A = this chain, B = another copy of it.
Amino acid sequence: MTNVGFIGLGIMGHPMVLNLLKGGHRLALYSRSGVAQGLSEAGGVACDSGADVAKCSQIIIVMVPDTPDVEQVLFAPGGVAEGLSAGKTVIDMSSISPLATKQFAAKIEQLGCQYLDAPVSGGEIGARSGALTIMVGGREDAFIAARPILELMGKTITLVGENGAGQTAKVANQIIVALNIEAVSEALILASKLGADPVRVREAIAGGFAGSRVLDVHALRMIERTFNPGFRIRLHKKDLDIALRAASDVGMSLPATAMTQQLFNACVAHGGENWDHSALVKALELMADHCIG
């Protein structure tokens, strides 16, 4: 049994904590909006601050929305850093900037502690079933030590490289998923506008080089018009913001990522910030004045 701290108890954090409790660990919890009764009843102990969580935990997990949130949780007054002592490990499972991650990791290591960036994919469903994909950056010894804890939350767990590499893999993942959704959208709208049945077009090409998880899953959502999340457009847009910021910071060009982010913006303009990301197709349908459904 390990003393695990967990900060950030939202749609993802809540079920992840439940899986850690089921695994027999002692959980110290903190969230800016309080600790849900269900988590206390399941055995979690509510703390007054991130510093308090860090004081009574060997491993401190952070699962909050964005880069500034992680910075605040770790380094603001009353934050995790204040409660750390040498030998503890901070695991940031949020999806945030790879470059900021390297800075956060360096600051935590200066306190004699270890830092792992360990963002996830697989969404709420993966969080509930303990089947998340976890992409890890950090030192191998810290990874090996933390692995039994991570295995209670995820199924495919990969040490990608040094600190920042986990976040980098997540950003790469989100670029590919968004752009694959965009690709399938353009293809199916054109097919539909040319008079072909998108269902049969999809079937005809799914087994070849056009095949992808997005063509399997998201194309069906487009055809069946089932746009309840799933994964929300505002979150995917945030992930592309991280990609574009990182590209700008290192001086490189991501033209299709930039364009796809603008299509997410177009969805937001039409009230779609909480649509599933497959509803990106709607932005292109608006331009085409044609709906594939």
Most buried by B among A168, A176, A191, A195: A176
Residues of B within 8 A of A121 (CB): 205, 208-209
Is A205's CB under 8 angstroms from B165's CB?
no
Also in contact, A133 and B182, with CB within 8 A (given A160-B200, A200-B158, A254-B190): no
Q: Is the CB of B194 within 8 A of A98?
A: yes
Q: Write the residues of chain A forming the contact surface with B, with a CB cutoff of 8 angstroms.
A: 98-99, 121-122, 133, 135, 137, 156, 158-162, 164-165, 168-169, 171-173, 175-180, 182-184, 186-191, 193-197, 200-201, 203-205, 207-215, 217, 243, 246-247, 250-257, 259-260, 263, 284, 287-290
Query: Which residue of B has the minimal Cβ distance to A132?
Result: B208
Given that A156-B207, A209-B173, A212-B180 are contacting pairs, would A250 and B193 also be in contact in the complex, using a CB cutoff of 8 Å?
A: yes
Chain B residues contacting A159 (CB-CB under 8 Å) are: 200
* Contact, CB under 8 Å: B212 / A213: yes
Bound complex: CA A173 to CA B198 (Å): 12
**In contact, B194 and A133 (Cβ under 8 angstroms):** no
